[in-house]
Copies of this chain bind each other. A is one copy, B any other.
């Protein structure tokens, strides 16, 4: 079903359903993480009525590597590093500004390796890693 042959370039997205597309666009248009209920509020006019509609879409988007959940915030952002899902380069990490709410996604291969290595040594079957830094971004610091 999924164009097994599209080895082409910019066809990164698996086909999204209407709800998934709405949610992803909402995340893309936001300049800070949104809670599921924030998203819901912004999509009332598009017909969404219940939290579950948003949570279901988010679940798929996250599986597809198009969005992330920020555990320390109970909120969601779109992925800023298309491919962080794919590459073994390292686990995605997030720096979250407590003042302005902006989030910076990055990866550090060394960090990913060290954690994977610890897991390997312990016989721990690693499935998913959460790394979140809380603090104040440069912009907010210099702004006073």
Name A residues whose Cβ lies closer than 8 Å to a Cβ of B.
71-72, 93, 95, 97-98, 104, 106, 108, 110-111, 114-115, 118-119, 122-138, 141-142
Contacts and interface: CB of A to CB of B under 8 A. Distances in A.
A119 B138 CA distance: 10
A49 B104 CA distance: 40
B141 A133 contact: no
Contacts of A106: 118
A131 B119 CA distance: 13
A138 B93 CA distance: 26
Contacts of A129: 131-134
B98 A108 contact: no
B118 A141 contact: no
